[in-house]
Amino acid sequence: MVDKKLMDGSKLVVLAVLTVAAVRVHGEPGARDAAVRLNNRGVAQMGQQFTEKAADSFAEAMKADPKMAQAAINEGIALMTLQKLDAAKDVLQKAIALDPKSPQAWYNLGLAQHAGNELDAALKSFQEAVKLDSRDVDSYYFEGVCYAELKEFDKAIATFKQALEINPMHASAEFALARALQRSGNTQDAREHFKTFQHLTSTKVSAAIGLAYGEQGRYSTVTPIEEHEAKPKGMIPVKLVAEPLSSQRDTGGACMLDVTGAGQMDLVVMQSGEQAIGVLHRTADGKFESVDAAAAGLKASGRAVACAVGDYDADGSNDLAVVLDDSVRLFRNLGKGKFQDVTADAGLKALNKPSGITFLDFDHDGDLDLFVTGSAATGGTQNVLWRNNGNKTFTEWTEPTGLGGSSRTAAAILTDFNNDRAVDIAVTGDGAAPMLFVNPREGKYPTQALYEEKLPATEGIAVLDFNKDGWMDIAVTHSGAPGVTLWRNVEGPKGLGRRFERVELPLKDAVRGWGVTPFDIDNDGWIDLAVVVETSAGPQVRVLRNRGDGTFEDVSKTLGLDAVKLTAPRGLIAGDVDGDGAADVIVTQENAAPVLLRNVGGNKNHSVRLDLSGYADNKTAIGAKVEIFANGHWQKWELAGAVGYQTQSAPQILVGLGDAEQVELLRILWPTGVLQDEIDLPEGPVIAMKEADRRGSSCPVLFAWDGHKYKLVTDVIGAGVVGHWFTPTRRNIPNPGEWIKVDGKQLASIDGKLSVRFIEPMEEVNYIDQLRLVAVDHPANVEVNPDEKFLDDPPFASGKVVASEDARLPAGAWDGEGRDVLDVLSRRDHSFASGFTATPYDGFANMHALTLNLGDVKAGGPLRLLMTGYVNYFSATSLYGAWQAGIKPVSPYAEAQMPDGTWQRITPGEAGFPAGLERTIVIDLTGKVPAGAQKIRLMTNLEIYWDQVLIDQSQHAQARTTEVPVSTATLHFRGYPKQIDGASPGDLDYDYDRVSLTGPFQHQRGNYTRFGDVTELVKGIDDRYVIFGSGEEIAARFDEAKLPVLPRGWKRDYFFYANGFVKDMDWWDASPFTVSQMPFHGMSKYPYPASESFPDENGALSYQLNWNDRFDSGEPVRSYRFDYRDLVSTPQEDSSTKRGAARQ
């Protein structure tokens, strides 16, 4: 197993928690201290993907102190990551000369030698590492790998067994042992060890050795050096100055919202009486003044408890949800300071006795749902979940998710505490401990108690990553002593997820707690805590400052809080109220006015305010996870909606930067899974960041060599996607085979070979079983197309050659809005007929028609439509969202206009549509158009764009086919060709020669096919797949030597065939984040039931062990940004790949 500490979205680089402990050095200050700082800067740069800069920093450290062996080891690791193997070996040998007793130096030299296929040298290096650290299981593992690759299987088996004696859960040793046993003829034992490997990796008990940085063992990561007498820095001079705000009849609940439309965050306070909602408008200078909430449309009477802010209808303006002690209210923001009560229209009503409310996107479909805590009304539940239907209405969805709770609940906060990209919910209340509802993606939420200690009931709750380890920790307040507790998120027992351990806090006199909020009081980059407590001296606000070493100090008196007199404080809202770059705190009170604690002095350190807005996600960005890198330090924040006790802060994040003047890297994981990296960010107090418009999935795309370069043909096997959500009771039926026409001009011979590249440019795992190429020869006046199209259900299209002669335009054509589009459809030029209005759900439009006048149709002959276009694909998430709104996908079907003007359906099933990017489909209407009918129309609610429509009545057009056998097929990492967006949504092209080695995509966890020659795997349909992922490609060549000579006046086109399956990483796809379950051709459905399994016949074990030995942990990659460069490729180049080349 590879023991790694990872941030969600990056390799974590924090000196205190790296896998290999920080090295302690001694010596005189001066050059050595400078070398230490340079080394540690390089460690930080490695963690946030600036590998070249890191290598330079390590080299500079060596210049400052030529005897610093650790810097040399680190430089060697960086150079290996950059695939500079010779340079890496030179540096690592220098490190060994400086410190011959360093197992890390020998280990990494072995890795570099192994990557260069120097097996004998690598074996000796790993043996040296074993001598120096006889308990390092990874060194034994690689020693065994070298023996196995030298075909010394007995020694390999013995070495792998030694590794498993040290660590019985070392997944890679299990796999390698199984393969060595299989290759030595012991199939039965091999099968048992392979099953153990599958169990270890599928249950995440263990991760196998991978190819990416940080995944090749604990010695493969760079190591920091402990700085001389490093101590936590003290707090800069800061004071919190109290300013009472004018308000009345407050209940303690409050939130921040731009009510007036003036661009400032106003304070919305919960009150009791005829006007239960109060608004304190924030002026430009940070002062607050009362305004008429009722005049703004915020009218409610009774006792208001809490409020939540979020853009529930995706119109770009944040709305307001309020719970009173007996009802729920929703106010839509109309803009310009006006709101409308839409509670009844939205379908909301009181189903419990509320205590709190928060917006969240529990189902990750891009819109905001509502979660209400409280106590049960008669026959009801404690909590109530309202699912947003995407059409400005909500449906109560508590029972299907199991979120009702079992005792009174006080507050809820959303957090992805287990870093699985699914937002969980933590709830406080009367139970024995706060309850964590763990998001299962579909179905009922399992629960996990935050702790097992016997403590008083809990009230407020906040999440923060106080120790910078990438895992969100949780703070809660209690109805009795100790008032507040903080719980560190740590690894649980193997295979059992996360658990929490208590952190000691310097707060001994609290007898009760209320509100709690994370913030950075002094902008030093370490997240602090503010908490409302009751003590024997009265109610107080305490600030616990994070010292950066895992401990906290109470700085309340230093801040001047001992002089602040409070009546009945309840909630806390942190934010930069006056825009000076320091975090202020608003204290809400019950039956008293709020108090502003203005931060004076915190802005001596730098800060930046992050203002996020969603695109495909909710516009408020609630649920987004944010990581910031500046001056060698990471921070992680979650935009959590409600925070603390009956409060919600402004939907921005104020990030302290210490003495750093600029954010070097901003990383965002948006709720629907979009990953986004931003660098070279402008200096300034605010960074406004909009979610990137990015598709996460499409399907693999085909490029063909035309004699000059590789150019896009189209995408392939989009219909082969597995586990696609259609309804709660149905998933798609995959069609694994597809024929694609490649025009003869697109494919040129070189050295008797025809070259194509089949690449995954997005975020899917592909299971490719067969690749074929067929030459289709025909007279020059004949056009050929395969009988192909996307159909929801079998029987699927035949793929047969359709030869057309004298195909003509229709006599007339009109789009869904009645516009004449005949000219648009007369040629293939990427000018498209559409005539529909897109919905908020990708791939869906209003119901619309493309109407065609067929003109004169020959009686008794064939009648086919040759329709060229593309579909802007729906996703599983958009299918789910549309289903919630009551919209079902309607695949195109044909109707004919009868003589009386009525329309009659003429295709009992679907007519079909293009299965991806532009291509020609064949719709056969032979014998289906009633006599006398001239007009037909295709009806659908899908986003289909038509480029050309032709009518074909050919009967005897000639064509002949000849198989072009595959000559070679090689799998390797290519990167991401630059995407070129057309004018119409989803109309894409790619520049194959402009490539980024990094991109905003992930890999699914599991075993992929090894890089190199995969020709054997693509020759037949046998469930022996080439399994490859994001940024990887198959380079295939086909031998044209036996193709017949073309007759005079004929031309040659080609049909490319791919058979296989594709799996997206969409939230609503089945098992989206793993390579398993492996699909197979005989499965009844996907996911298939327990009664079915992937074929385990003769040869299947050998296939799994000998081909699919490239493990990917699925952990976050080092960079999510595109960084394009020229990377020209030709068919003559050696398409083999260096051992170890992998994603960045």
Task: Output the six-digit token pair for 149.
Answer: 């690759």
* Higher-confidence position of 214 and 900: 900
CA angle 391, 392, 394 (to 5 degrees): 95
Q: What is the SS3 assignment for 588-606?
A: EECCCCCEEEEEECHHHCE
**Domain that includes residue 131, residue range:** 6-226
- pLDDT for the residue 228: 52
Residue 442 neighbours by CB distance under 10 Å: 14
Share of the chain above pLDDT 90, in %: 81
User: Is 964 among the domain residues?
Assistant: no
Question: Does the structure show a pLDDT above 70 at 896?
Answer: yes
CA dist., res. 165 & res. 442, Å (int): 39
3-class DSSP state for residue 900? coil
Whether residue 150 is contained in a domain is answered as yes
Higher-pLDDT residue of 1098 and 834 is 834
Amino acid code (one letter) for 366: G
Q: How confident is the model at residue 1137 (pLDDT cuts 50, 70, 90)?
A: very low
**Tokens matching residue 612:** 């996020």
- Give 697's Cβ-side CA count (13 Å radius): 32
Query: Which pLDDT tens digit goes with each residue over 797-819?
Result: 999 999 999 999 999 999 999 99
Cis peptide before 440 (omega within 30 of 0): no
Residue whose C-alpha is closest to residue 770's, from 1034, 395, 429, 538:
1034
Average pLDDT over residues 52-64: 94
Residue 490 amino acid letter: V
485 inside domain: yes
For residue 567, the domain's CATH number is 2.130.10.130
1078 half-sphere exposure, CB direction, 13 A CA radius = 23
List strands edge to edge, sheet with 528-535: 510-519, 528-535, 538-546, 552-554
Q: Which residues contact 707 (CB under 8 A, 6 or more apart)?
A: 748, 750
598/568 Cα distance (integer angstroms) = 19
Same domain, 251 and 202: no
Least confident of 217-221, 628-632, 797-801: 628-632
Average of per-residue pLDDT values in the chain? 92
Domain identity same for 387 and 245: yes
- Examine the domain organization and report whether 186 and 247 are in the same domain: no
Q: Is residue 1061, in this structure, part of any structural domain at all? A: no
User: Could you read off the pLDDT of 430-441 as tens digits, one per residue?
Assistant: 989 999 999 998
Last residue of a domain, one of 628, 658, 688: 658
Same domain, 71 and 98: yes
What average pLDDT score do residues 27-41 get? Answer: 77
The DSSP symbol for 233 reads P
For residue 28, pLDDT beyond 60: no
What's the half-sphere exposure (Cβ side, CA atoms, 13 Å) at 230? 17
Over range 193-212, report the average pLDDT: 84
Residue 127's Cα: distance from chain center in Å? 40
- C-alpha to C-alpha distance for 524 and 582, rounded to whole angstroms: 11
Model confidence band, residue 251 (pLDDT cutoffs 50, 70, 90): confident
CA gap 429, 431 in Å, rounded: 6
**pLDDT tens digits along 310-360:** 999 999 999 999 999 999 999 999 999 999 999 999 999 999 999 999 999
d(CA 923, CA 869): 13
- Least confident piece of the model among 2-6, 133-137, 233-237, 507-511: 2-6
Give the pLDDT of residue 45.
83
Claim to verify: residue 108 and residue 245 sit in the same structural domain: no
Say what the pLDDT of residue 19 is: 37
Domain end position, chosen among 910, 937, 953:
953
Residue 498 lies in a domain: yes
Determine, yes or no, domain membership for 977.
no
CATH classification of the domain holding 189: 1.25.40.10
Distance between the two ends of the chain, CA-based, in angstroms?
Answer: 21
Of residues 694 and 117, the one with the higher pLDDT is 117
792 phi/psi in degrees, rounded to 5: -65, -35
C-alpha to C-alpha distance for 829 and 486, rounded to whole angstroms: 62
pLDDT at 43: 87
Residue 1099 CB coordination number (10 Å): 11
pLDDT (average), residues 603-615: 95
Q: Kindly state whether residues 176 and 244 are assigned to the same domain.
A: no
Let me know: does 978 contact 991? Beta carbons within 8 Å.
yes
Residues 484 and 381 in one domain: yes
Same domain (yes/no): 358, 214? no
DSSP class per residue in 478-542: ESSTTSEEEEEEEE-STTS-EEEEEE--S--SEEEEEEEEEE-TT-SSS-EEEEEEEETTEEEEE
Is 149 inside a domain boundary?
Answer: yes
Task: Find the mean pLDDT for residues 405-415.
Answer: 96
- Is residue 21 domain-shared with residue 118, that is, in the same domain? yes
- 514 exposure class (CB count in 10 Å sphere: 0-12, 13-18, 19+): buried
Assess whether 945 and 903 both reside in one domain: yes
Q: Which of 683, 841, 760, 779 is nearest to 1053 (CA)?
A: 779
Torsion over CA: 103, 104, 107, 109 (sign): negative
In a domain, 798, yes or no: no
Categorize the per-residue pLDDT at 1098 as very low, low, confident or very high, splitting at 50, 70 and 90.
low
pLDDT of 1139 > 60? The answer is no
CA dist 327 and 302 (Å) reads: 9
The average pLDDT across 557-586 equals: 96
Residues 849 and 893 in one domain: yes
| Distance from C-alpha of 146 to C-alpha of 166, rounded to nearest angstrom | 19
For residue 228, the 8-state DSSP code is T
Instruction: Indicate which CATH number applies to the domain containing 863.
Output: 2.60.120.260
**869: three-class secondary structure by DSSP:** strand
Q: Which of 210-214, 644-648, 978-982 has the lowest mean pLDDT?
A: 210-214
**What pLDDT is stored for residue 948 in this prediction?**
98
Which among 419, 463, 491 is positioned nearest to 19, based on CA atoms? 491
| C-beta neighbour count of 976 within 10 angstroms | 23
Cα–Cα distance between 519 and 583 in angstroms, integer? 7
Q: In what helix (H) or strand (E) does residue 156 lie, and over which residues does it extend?
A: helix 153-166
Domain count, the chain: 3
> Which run of H or E residues covers position 1107?
helix 1100-1107
Phi and psi at 28, nearest 5°, equal -75, 145
Distance CA 365, CA 408 (A): 29
Q: Read off the pLDDT of each residue in 1012-1036 and give the average, rounded to a whole number.
A: 97
Interatomic CA distance for residues 1137 and 43, integer angstroms:
28
Element (H, E) at 1111: strand 1110-1112
| Residue 403, number of CB atoms within 10 A of its CB | 23
Cβ neighbour number for residue 905 with a 10 Å cutoff: 11
Q: What is the pLDDT of residues 857-874, one digit of tens each?
A: 988 889 999 999 999 999
| Cβ–Cβ < 8 Å for 998, 1116 | no
Residue 21: is its pLDDT beyond 80?
no
* 465, 419 Cβ separation under 8 angstroms: no
Domain boundary among 908, 937, 953: 953
Residue 1109, amino acid: D
Q: Say if CB 1064 and CB 724 are below 8 A apart.
A: yes
Residues 450, 474 within the same domain: yes
Residue 32, phi then psi, degrees to nearest 5? -65, -40
Q: Distance (Å, rounded) from C-alpha 634 to C-alpha 1012?
A: 37
| Six token digits for residue 34 | 């400078």
Mean pLDDT of 486-513: 92
Closest CA to 367 of 617, 675, 613: 617
In a 3-state reduction of DSSP, which class is residue 214?
Answer: coil
